[in-house]
Structure 1
Amino acid sequence: MNLPLNKEERARLRRDQIITAARICFRNHGFHGAGMAEIAQMSALSVGQIYRYFTNKDAIIEEIVRRIVETKVNHMQFKKGDVQETAAMLSHRLLAGDPQEREIDHALMLEVAAEATRNPTVARILREADDRLFGQAMDMLTGLRPDLNQEQLAVWVEFMAVMCEGTAFRRLNHQKANPSLLNRFYLSLFTTILPASEKK
């Protein structure tokens, strides 16, 4: 016999229910096109129930971004043994984790980036998300490359961020470069970057 859920567990399930619905609505119609009424209908809740857990649409966006960042942190790998996998994923434009969920994550983050240009609250959310991802990557790379100082580490993290985010963005277009050739190029680049110490 299942025990009844306590108040905290019920609240968590309700929030999950709302976020799942909001992800679909935002993915299909964008932040401006999807209203609270549509999110309520998709989540099988009333608008009033949604406002019990999220003060407004920006709060829902913030929670979605927080969860996407959490997923990215969990999949983040900066290990020497992973350079082949990283090169293969970038060259073939693959996303870590469940492909369908990561595709939605990517589309939502593009929407967040666009909204950040006109909404100061969303701009703050995006900055905080980037700060967390950048800091996590710095911590991971510090263990891999203790010979580099903080400025040098920041250069490598910025480079990898541009590579990963640029590749994700280019998934929207037909791939023009040969993936096999691209894979060899990335692999050569990464094995050059990661093992060798940078001379000061």
Structure 2
Amino acid sequence: MSTKLEERQKQRQDEIITAARHCFRASGFHAASMSQIAAEAKLSVGQIYRYFSNKDAIIEEMIRRIIDYRIAEMEGKTQTDRIPQVLAWRETLSEDDDALMLEMSAEATRNPQVAAMLAEADARMFENAATHLKKQCPHLSDERIRCCVEITAVMMEGSIYRRLTPQKVAPEQLEKMYREILNMLLNAN
């Protein structure tokens, strides 16, 4: 019996998250209200509060889901070989997730709780990427691994932002240069 109840609760949370994603994309986190989210989810505001204590709790769950998805996509893959291609061709796992993460970053400049959530999410991603890279490049020191992850994160996050503008250089040329950069980072002593 409790399994059915848990499944129903999970389904409701999923519906609320889906509605919130839509509202946040349309209005931004700051401007989207709980009543908008409730209307989009076809629920009352009171029903939403059964599942999430406030809008920040919805944001926290959304961040957790996006980061969990990204970490799961990293598992078992040799990412270093694909990074130059992903960067040069501006590939993405989810344009919607990327846009929401940009929106969350903007909200973090106004809301210390969201800033803390993003910092925690970044730490999870960073540690996961460092562990993954250490398996691929055991010859690198831990400090070098952390530097490589930081530089790669800057390139990846910059590419997310750059997707908003027309690309000014041929992707084939960029891919070669990104490959050179990664080779320099990963093959140094």
Q: Shorter-chain TM-score: what band?
A: over 0.9
- Counterpart contact for 1:78–1:141, Cα < 8 Å: no
Q: Any idea what the Cα deviations from partners look like across 1:162-186, whole Å, max 9, x if unmatched? A: 1111111100111111111111222
Q: Any idea what the Cα deviations from partners look like across 1:112-134, whole Å, max 9, x if unmatched? A: 11111121111110100000000
Determine helix, strand or coil for the equivalent of 2:117.
helix
- Counterpart contact for 1:19–1:60, Cα < 8 Å: yes
Query: Equivalences for 1:36-185 in 2 at 5 Å?
Result: 36-76=34-74, 83=81, 85-96=82-93, 102-185=94-177
Instruction: Give the unaligned 5+ runs of structure 2.
Output: none
Between the aligned partners of 1:65 and 1:81, the Cα distance in structure 2 is 22
Instruction: Give the unaligned 5+ runs of structure 1.
Output: 97-101
Q: Which has the larger displacement, 17-26 or 5-14?
A: 5-14
Determine helix, strand or coil for the equivalent of 1:18.
helix
Question: What value does the CA root-mean-square deviation take over the aligned residues?
Answer: 2.0
Mark the CA change 1:79 to 1:43 in structure 2 (over 3 Å): closer, same or farther. Answer: closer
Between the aligned partners of 1:46 and 1:35, the Cα distance in structure 2 is 12
Q: Tell me if 1:18 matches 2:10.
A: no
- Counterpart contact for 1:79–1:144, Cα < 8 Å: no
Between the aligned partners of 1:59 and 1:121, the Cα distance in structure 2 is 10
Identity of aligned residues (%): 47
- Counterpart contact for 2:30–2:107, Cα < 8 Å: no
Report the Cα offset of residue 5 of structure 1: 6.5
Q: Tell me if 1:190 matches 2:187.
A: no
Report the Cα offset of residue 77 of structure 1: 6.5
Between the aligned partners of 1:119 and 1:9, the Cα distance in structure 2 is 32
TM score, norm. by length of structure 2: 0.93
Q: Which amino acid letter does the alignment assign opposite residue 137 of structure 2? A: R
Q: Any idea what the Cα deviations from partners look like across 1:42-76, whole Å, max 9, x if unmatched? A: 11111111000000000000000001101111222
Between the aligned partners of 2:32 and 2:72, the Cα distance in structure 1 is 29
List structure 1 runs of 4+ shifted beyond 6 angstroms. none
